[in-house]
Structure 1
Amino acid sequence: MAAKNIEAAVEEIVSELLAGQDVIELVDVEYVKEHTDWYLRVYIDKDGGIDIEDCQELSEKLEVQLDERNVIPDSYILEVSSPGIDRVLRKPRDYEREQGKKVDVTLYAPMDGKKEWTGVLTGFDGKAVTLDETTVIELSKAAQIRLHIDF
């Protein structure tokens, strides 16, 4: 099964496990190979932030479901965690939720002489983001878009 199919199947299982409660939100699922190991990463969040108990509880429930449904053919390492304060935006719901927040955009190739852009996310149409109401960047040209962190 392809990684994207596994991610979709796991996202469905996690959504089922979180159904009926309005506290914890599924942010993202990632199934990637790093060196010789496969990692299944599930990112969750809630108002005020998640804690280790939230992660552990979901991890235990998810392990049971993954074993019962035999979703992943390879051995893998399961990680359930917060997406972090500098979370990567990937899905339409991410762009909608983070409207009005400052983001960092890294491009594959320079646009107007720059590969890195920072601005307030003021628009999203499914194919492009708008920063500061004036700069439009196509998602296909963005290597990564993440929340900006001021130190």
Structure 2
Amino acid sequence: MVTETELEILDQIDALNEKIRQTEAYRHYCKYRTLLEQDEEVAGLIDQFTRLKMDFEEVQRFGKYHPDFSTKRREINQFKKKLDMHPVIMEYRRAEYQLQEMLDEVLYHVSISVSSHVNVVSSNPFFSVSSDSGGCATGGSCGCQSAG
């Protein structure tokens, strides 16, 4: 059973979601996602990369001792660079990063408004709520933080 408070929170989440969809970062991301999906040249490059990757994975099973290991690895790395340098893919990745950065910041602000001890999961170290490290046996290398 959903309470009135939970319904209000869900309504506020919907409103926040709508505000995010109105941002330039979101529109830019959608534009390049559509271009990425519709560009035949990009689709061909991605298909070719996928085939190269599958070929390399087959060779990689035997490690560096396979006679084609170095050749296949060099071939896939060169093609990956070509793929990454395509203007549509470059702009898509930039837009994706900017949108993710904005979402991380929104999550951070929502989290700290609930509690200053909330662990915010983000690859961006700026959003680390607590300066304490540790919390597990790895000394904090896993990215967790103690409740401090």
Q: Does TM-score exceed 0.5, indicating one fold?
A: no
Q: TM-score, normalised by structure 2?
A: 0.23
Which one has the bigger helix percentage?
Answer: 2
Higher-Rg structure is 2
Which one has the bigger strand percentage?
Answer: 1
Q: TM-score, normalised by structure 1?
A: 0.22
